[in-house]
Structure 1
Amino acid sequence: MFYKLGGKDMAKYAYRDKDRKDIIYSDEAIEVDRNTAFFCPDHKCNAKLYICAVDGSKSAYFRATKPNFKHIKNCLFGNSSTEFDSNNYDESQFVYEDAINNLLCNTKPSSQKRIPSAHGTGEPGAHPPRTLRQIYSLCKSLSVRDTYAGKEIGSMILDDRSKYRYPKGCFGNRIIEATVDGRLYNDEKKEVYLVSPINSKKYTFILSFSDEDNYKKIRSEIYNNRDKIIVIAGKWESSGEYNKFTSKVYGTKQVAIIK
């Protein structure tokens, strides 16, 4: 299943109101009453979040500290997948298209490396976000209407928060937050099938492979984690069928499993 919920949840933003209209960021909330309750960014989650400070730091974050108002099962804001410490990265050097293109480079599978989970954001350092899990955590840590290095978060990722931006589908370099629904793969075509966004399952995404080893490795990893959230970086285009999009997958750099 997923990482244990209610543990290391550190949201960088929350909402003042139940309708999620009035957003508040953790760095704005440092001076508020510590007993003020805010609402989880996930509209389906009834967790009440409270402002907390990192020990020995001025950094702040929201956390579900009350046992009666914890995150619901599978809420991404209840585990470490949304953690992104902007102090560890150089925003000025981040170019989204270049970052995704680097993930799409041909890579041969290694028997010693597994598909990375979206736990943490990798090694610290003054460099821009590079790996899929770093970019994904960046996208989840902010509102889809926020920007990073001048690019709106909602234009980087397709998930349930940003689906309003994709009324006709998903094209070009995008990260998708997906799940398994129905048939998972076709060995003859070397294809893996996922759906996104997770709640509406509006679109089907076809992962297309030319390399047999990469196909088998990634197919097996997704199959073994088919109850989890799958994150894919791809260059998406129409498959020729309604609401179905396809991208080539060259290696494990394009795939992350949310545990």
Structure 2
Amino acid sequence: MVMYAYRDKARKVKVLARNALKEDKGNRFYCPNSLCDAHMYIVIKEGVSASYFAGRGHLDDCFYHSKSNSFRPANFNEHEFDFNNALMALTQKGKSQSNKLTSDKHSSGPVVPKPLRTIRQIYDMCKSHDCSDTYNGVTVGQMLLSDDSAKMYTSGVEGWRLIESQRKLPKFYVLETMEIHLIAPVAKKKYTFILKFTDAKLFREIKDWIYANRYHIFIVAGDWSSSNSANVFSAYISAKNQLTMIK
């Protein structure tokens, strides 16, 4: 689901779903993807707070197509979501990060929504919202560094963050130091992000995985800190759950 859209084709007037009025229900809105001419419309369900935008005519590879983004607000407990703790949990080796919602196996009642857990769930939530919107009181743009939220990072990227990135060219890894180098945001390429490893096997697996998917976008969860070089930040990677790929 998409939590914002634009009122005009030039995409100058942004409309948040939670602020949309019922009289907007019959109006045509525009997809956040400027390359996609999908016809977006407001869906009001169980009150304005549960509103969202749906669309028809999306490009097949548009992220805001329902096939690409599986975020459904009603499936998750927003009020129990703690961004820093969720990203910290991704670093735990061997920790299961199932995308399926589960309830107590001894309960015969309905499935109880859980907070977002996996990196893909958190990323989809962030992309569904405008970067200035909030999720459980945290500004979405302060959770995800992307081209949309880059304007919020005038002094760098530190602390727990998701980054939307690509491999750095001409060479994205350093064997001697077990480092992988990425750049973000994807369009502006302002920052370099260094993924550090203490596990040689994990380093090799992720290096080979990135190479095999080298033309795609990589989402990385890390606790970033600045380096001695300008616009360069690093984080330790200890589990595969800290990365995912967007085709």
Which TM-score bucket, shorter chain as reference? 0.7 to 0.9
Do residues 38 (structure 1) and 29 (structure 2) align?
A: yes
Partner of 1:15: 6
Contact kept? 2:197, 2:237, Cα under 8 Å: yes
Deviation at 1:168, TM superposition (A): 1.9
3-state SS of paired residue (2:157): coil
The number of residue pairs the alignment matches comes to 233
Output the CA distance in 2 between the equivalents of 1:177 and 1:79. Answer: 20
Q: Which amino acid aligns with 2:127?
A: K
226, 242, 258: which is aligned to 2:230? 242
CA distance in 1, matches of 2:180, 2:21: 43
The TM-score, its normalising length taken from structure 1, stands at 0.79
The residue correspondences of 1:72-221 to structure 2 (distance < 5 A) are 75-78=62-65, 80-105=67-92, 107=93, 122-123=100-101, 125-182=112-169, 183-221=171-209
Using the TM superposition, give the Cα deviation of residue 196 of structure 1 relative to its aligned residue in structure 2, in angstroms: 0.6
Deviating more after overlay: 179-188 vs 132-141: 179-188
Taking the aligned partners of 2:68 and 2:208, their CA distance within structure 1 comes to 22
Offset, 1:252: 0.6
Contact residue 26 and residue 51 of structure 1 kept, 8 A? no
Q: Within 2, Cα distance between the matches of 1:91 and 1:193?
A: 33
Task: Name the residue aligned to 1:252.
Answer: 240
Deviation of 1:108 (Å): 5.5
Letter in 2 for 1:130: R
Greater mean deviation of Cα atoms: 11-20 or 235-244: 11-20
Change (3 A) 1:27 1:238: closer
Describe the superposition over 1:161-185 as per-residue Cα deviations: whole angstroms up to 9, x where unpaired.
Answer: 1101101211000000111230111
In the TM superposition, what is the alpha-carbon distance from 1:126 to its structure 2 partner? 1.4
Give, in whole Å, the separation in 2 of the partners of 1:88 and 1:134.
Answer: 11
1:3 alignment counterpart: none
Q: 1:24 Cα shift?
A: 3.9
Report what 2:213 is aligned to.
225
Offset, 1:63? 4.8
Cα shift at 1:21: 2.7
Give the Cα–Cα distance (whole angstroms) in 2 for the partners of residues 11 and 150 of structure 1: 18
**Unaligned residue ranges in structure 2 (runs of 5+):** 103-111
Q: Counterparts of 1:30 and 1:61 in 2: how far apart (Å)?
A: 12
User: CA separation in 1, counterparts of 2:236 and 2:15?
Assistant: 37
Q: 1:239, 1:246 within 8 Å by CA — same for their partners in 2?
A: yes
Give 3-state SS (helix, strand or coil) of 2:167's partner.
coil
The secondary structure found in structure 1 opposite 2:209 is: helix
> TM-score, normalization: structure 2?
0.82
| Whole-Å separation in 1 of the counterparts to 2:39 and 2:5 | 7
Does the residue aligned with 1:76 lie in a helix, a strand or coil? coil
Q: Cα gap change, 1:145/1:218 in structure 2, threshold over 3 Å: closer, same or farther?
A: same
SS at match of 1:233: strand
Distance in 2 (alpha carbons) for counterparts of 1:205 and 1:29 = 41
Cα distance, 1:26–1:224 mapped onto 2, change above 3 Å: farther
Note the alpha carbon deviations across 1:63-117, whole angstroms, 9 max, x for none: 5534xxx44x854224644331111111111111111111122x169xxx9x99x
For 2:81, the aligned partner's letter is F
Q: Distance in 1 between matches of 2:41 and 2:74?
A: 19
Give the counterpart letter for 1:239 in structure 2.
S
Q: Percent identity?
A: 32
